Structure 1
Amino acid sequence: MKQGADLQTLVGYRVQRANLLMETDARAALSDFDLSPAKMTALILIRDNPGCDQTALGRALSINRSSAMKLVNILADKGFVERRPGRDLRTNALALLPEGARQLEKMVAAVRRSDARMTQRLSADELATLHDLLARIGPATGLSDDEG
């Protein structure tokens, strides 16, 4: 279908289209693991933030507490993460288990191959520029990737 000048010049539309293509390929890359890109992202966040709680994980993923709990339940049922006593009686500290770390390494490799496939028409400099530009999208007072 023809995409007129309005769609061609809307950054949000272009990012959404690129995201759809990237996520579709990433889902296919993760199909052997029976996990979505969002669940892989959760594993990475738990690995990189040992002892984080479900609320912080949900905030980082932009999902509510109930959805974060369901996500952690799925990862725990697979033997990838476990809940440990948290800083107080109301929270659990999340920990990546050895099997989760092993599987995550394979998942990241699969998604990196997907990324390479999807960005193969970009030069190394263009890819670096794309990363930089995407990191700058958002309000000037918004959270950085390290904060959010």
Structure 2
Amino acid sequence: MKQGGDLLSLVGYQLQQANLRLETDARAVLADFDLTPAKLTALILIRDNPGCDQTTLGRALSINRSSAMKLVNILVEKRLIERQPGRDLRTNALVLLPEGQRQVDAMLAAVHRSDTRMTARLSREDIQTLHNLLTRLGPATGAAED
């Protein structure tokens, strides 16, 4: 289908189209693990923040409490993470299990291969520039910029 100048001039549209291509390939390489990119992201966040609770994980993933609970239940059922007693009686601390770490390592290797394949037409400098620009478009971490 023809994409006119209006669509092609929109950064958001271009980002969305690139994201769709990248995510489709990432989903394909993660299919053997029976996990999605979102679940891999959750595992990495749990690995990097041992003892985080489900609510904090949900916020980091921008998903509601119900979705966070479903995601955590799936990861627990797959024996990739476990719930441990949290900071109070109402929370559970999430911890990556050794099998979870093994799978994260394998999945990251697969996703890195996907990234390399999907960015093959870009130079190393292009990729670094893209990373820098995307980081600048990400959430503000400090004071508001003018």
**What is the rounded CA distance, in whole Å, between the counterparts of 1:67 and 1:8 in structure 2?**
34
The secondary structure found in structure 2 opposite 1:122 is coil
Show the 5 A alignment for 1:1-148: 1-138=1-138, 142-143=140-141
Instruction: Return the letter of the residue paired with 2:130.
Output: L
Q: Using the TM superposition, give the Cα deviation of residue 2 of structure 1 relative to its aligned residue in structure 2, in angstroms.
A: 1.2
TM-score, normalised via structure 1 length? 0.93
**What is the rounded CA distance, in whole Å, between the counterparts of 1:130 and 1:74 in structure 2?**
33
**What is the rounded CA distance, in whole Å, between the counterparts of 1:19 and 1:131 in structure 2?**
14
Instruction: Return the letter of the residue paired with 2:49.
Output: N
**What is the rounded CA distance, in whole Å, between the counterparts of 1:118 and 1:21 in structure 2?**
8
TM-score, normalised via structure 2 length? 0.95
**What is the rounded CA distance, in whole Å, between the counterparts of 2:138 and 2:41 in structure 1?**
20
Q: Using the TM superposition, give the Cα deviation of residue 9 of structure 1 relative to its aligned residue in structure 2, in angstroms.
A: 0.6
The secondary structure found in structure 1 opposite 2:82 is strand
Structure 1 residue runs without a partner (length 5+): none
1:46-86: CA deviation from partner (whole Å, max 9, x where unpaired): 00000000000000000001100100000000000000000
Runs of 4 or more off by more than 3 Å in structure 1? none
**What is the rounded CA distance, in whole Å, between the counterparts of 2:77 and 2:108 in structure 1?**
20
Percent identity, aligned pairs only, is: 73
Instruction: Return the letter of the residue paired with 2:99.
Output: E
The secondary structure found in structure 2 opposite 1:6 is helix
Q: Say what the alpha-carbon RMSD is for the aligned residues.
A: 1.1
